[in-house]
Each structure stands twice: as C-alpha cells, then as structure tokens.
Amino acid sequence: MANARGAIIVGASSGIGEALARRLAADGYEIGLTARRMERLREIGADLPTKSYVAAMDVTDSAEARDRFFELAEAMPSVDLVVISAGVATVNPDLEWEPERQTVAVNVGGFTALATAAMTYFERESGTACGTDGHLVGISSVAAHVGNGDAPAYNASKAYVSRYLEGLRYREGDRDADVTITTIEPGFVDTKLSLGGFWECSPETAAEQIARAIRNKRAHAYVTRRWRAIAWLVALAPEWLLRRLF
C-alpha cells in the first residue's frame, strides 16, 4: 500500500501554522507538527483526522532544530511538503536590542536553518508519496515589500524570506531534483502576530488559500489575493509617500 502524503509544519502550535495543519489533514496529509509548546502540539495532533507526529523545536537553536527536523522526517512514512510558518513580529520604534535580535534570530536564522534542512532532505530523498521531489513553502508577508519605521526588523526579515525563497527557485534550475518552492505573502491575519486590522482575514481563510496555492504548485501567492494590489501600489509609490505611511 502506498504511503499517505506527509507534511511537516514548522510553527504549528497557533495561528496560520495550526490552521494549515488542520486544513492539510482534512485533505488527507499525515502531519508532522513542530513548535516549542509540546503539550499544545499533542492537543492539535490528537484532534486531526489523520496520523500526526510531534517534535519540540526552538528554531533559534539552529543545530538542534535541524536535528529535530531530520528526526521527524525520518519518523514519517513520507514527507512531501514542508511549511515554515514560525515567526515573530514586534513593534519596536525605539530600536530596543532584544526585540530586534529575537526577530532576526527567528525570522531569518531559524527560517534559513529549516529551509536548508528541507531542501537537503528533498534533494537527498528525491521521491515522495506524490511522486515528486518535494515542496517547500515559506510564510513571508506583504510587509516584505516596504520598510517600516515602527517594526524595521520584521519587515526586513520578511524581505529576506521572500528573496531567499526566490533564490532557491533559481537554484533549482541547475539541480537534478525538482523541488517546488512557494512563497506565501499574507497581509493582516487575525493572529497574535497581526500588526494591523483592515482586510484582516481569519487563519482558516488564510489556510484555505495557502492550501490552494500548494495544490496548484504556485511559485508565489498573496493571502488574501486582494493584497496583490497593495504590493503593486507600494512598488509604484514615491519614497516620500512611503515614508509618511510607514
């Protein structure tokens, strides 16, 4: 009997990560759940309709996080999909060091540690239950398109995520393995990380649109799709206007 499809979600204990775990499980994926809160992961896993696997992970400890990722992947019959949803957002106009340091450690260092681990795994395995070489999804943000004086590290870290995933897509052109890489750029989603309010969608709505992007093997998707217009406007706006807005 063929293995069921499997997905590992990094940052699955709340928000978009939790909602996406539930959405993908409803689509038949077995789910590997990772985050710092082990008890919460067990609660979520017990509520899923498919088999779940859990691993405690602090992405700021990159060496241990990568070890935990590979251990979790080896414990699952198949890993077709890896979603990196772990992230932090802090309003920090006074540039206090600890919030900036933590944002970079999680959103840049932790993301890179797990993205490279996922790519290593997919290129080493070169075969999944879906018959593909794997699919990496990174949760960035519409904030990647512009700086922000109140949250400079957050917007900069999301720009890093978007550009890094873009670089990985370019890299795949010269590799034997054909790993699909998807950049998700949400606007405001009703989670603890939300820094806004207008056009804010629920985590469940975000998860539904992300799942659709995964099914369609999109290279890039805005969540919700109306945020594409904001990205376009930011690209066209003069710097003096952006300085007044952000």
Calculate what percentage of the chain has a pLDDT beyond 90.
77
User: Which pLDDT does position 29 carry in this prediction?
Assistant: 97
Neighbour order of strands in the sheet with 30-35: 52-56, 30-35, 6-10, 81-84, 135-139, 180-186, 220-223
CA separation for the pair 62, 68 (Å, rounded): 10
CA separation for the pair 55, 50 (Å, rounded): 17
Q: What does the pLDDT average to over 58-67?
A: 97
CA separation for the pair 133, 126 (Å, rounded): 5
- The predicted-structure confidence for 16-28, as pLDDT tens digits, reads as follows 999 999 999 999 9
What domains appear along the chain, each with residue ranges and CATH number? 6-243 (3.40.50.720)
Q: What does the pLDDT average to over 34-58?
A: 96
- The predicted-structure confidence for 72-86, as pLDDT tens digits, reads as follows 999 999 999 999 999
- The predicted-structure confidence for 134-185, as pLDDT tens digits, reads as follows 999 999 999 999 999 999 999 999 999 999 999 999 998 888 888 999 999 9
Q: Identify the bridge partners of residue 55 per DSSP, sorted by sequence position.
A: 34
Q: Which of 121, 154, 164, 222 is catalytic?
A: 154
176 contacts: CB under 8 Å, gap ≥ 6: 123, 126
Question: Would you say residue 126 has pLDDT above 80?
Answer: no
Q: Does 60 or 1 have the greater pLDDT score? A: 60
Kindly state the DSSP code that residue 28 receives in the 8-state scheme: T
Q: Average pLDDT, whole number, for the chain?
A: 92
CA separation for the pair 153, 32 (Å, rounded): 29
Question: Would you say residue 125 has pLDDT above 80?
Answer: no
Residue 180 near residue 132 (C-beta atoms within 8 A): yes
Note if 154 is an active site residue. Answer: yes
